[in-house]
Amino acid sequence: MVSINYKGVIIEIVQGDITKQPDIEAIVNAANAYLRRGGGVAGAIHRAAGPELEKECEKYAPIKPGEAVITKGYKLPNKYVIHCLGPVYGKDRPEDKFLSLCYKNALKICEEKEISSIAFPAISTGFFGYPIEEATEVALKTCLEIIPQLKKVKRIRFVLFDKEAYNIYQNKLKELLPT
Ligand code: AR6
């Protein structure tokens, strides 16, 4: 696990499951446009939250690439789920703009709702086909850029499912941080 304090915000990189982050207030879902169950992160989140989550989601669907909406967490250990629709690689262009918007919009919601901790999966890097190295750069750069403006968010955790993605995040963070 990596944990650093960057301008008053703790940035953590962990390998694990996004549905098993009980000390985090809001977890981010790598959603589909219709905010339905699906596979990957979305499947795991809906499974853990229970059917009430999909019901609440109906009210907000469909959403567009880059958009984010917030719901309750239901049976999850987290108070909230923030559902982001990442870009489909090769289709929703420019992909980096849409991916960056996901992180920006999720953090914006946190500021509005006074949420102090958030956990992100690697949005778009599964079924949506975004190469992990490129997506990592967008995710970390976007968050590092926004951190100086954050007043409520005190902890940002990146939860990577596999070792490879975890290593890529770790190396990219080192590369991006001013020495
Ligand atoms: N915890 C953390 N990371 C995970 C988990 C988990 N439980 N499960 C998978 N990952 P994906 P996308 C990683 O496909 O690319 C769904 O069907 C995974 O290894 O969940 O944005 C939706 O309904 C990958 O690196 O999201 C949409 O239709 C990353 O999380 C579509 O897939 C994202 O993989 C969204 O595709």
Report pLDDT for 129: 98
| Shortest-distance Cα residue to atom 14 of ligand 1 | 126
What's the rounded mean pLDDT across residues 117-138?
98
Count CB neighbours of 154 within 10 A: 15
Residue 178 has pLDDT above 80, yes or no: no
Which tens digit of pLDDT belongs to each residue from 155-173?
999 999 999 999 999 999 9
Question: How many independent structural domains does the chain possess?
Answer: 1
C-beta 86 within 6 A of ligand 1: yes
Using the mean position of ligand 1's atoms as its centre, give its distance from the Cα of residue 179 in Å.
Answer: 32
How does pLDDT run across 29-85, given as a tens digit for each residue?
A: 999 999 999 999 999 999 999 999 999 999 999 999 999 999 999 999 999 999 999
Q: How far is the CA of 66 from the centre of ligand 1 (A)?
A: 16
Say how far residue 134 (Cα) sits from the centre of its chain.
Answer: 15
pTM: 0.99
Helix (H) or strand (E) holding 105: helix 95-113
- pLDDT value of residue 65: 98
Q: What is the mean pLDDT of the chain?
A: 98
Q: The domain spanning residue 88 has which CATH number?
A: 3.40.220.10
- pLDDT at position 102 is 98
Q: Is 166 in the pocket of ligand 1 (CB under 6 A)?
A: no
Q: Is the CB of 24 under 6 A from ligand 1?
A: no
Tell me which residue range forms the domain holding 140: 2-176
d(CA 98, CA 104): 10
Strand pairing class (80-84; 26-30)? parallel
Burial class of residue 56 in the structure, from the number of CB atoms within 10 Å of its CB (0-12 exposed, 13-18 middle, 19+ buried): middle
- Report the interhelical angle of 40-49 vs 51-58 (nearest 10°): 110
pLDDT of 169: 98
Answer yes or no: is the C-beta of 117 below 6 A from any ligand 1 atom: no
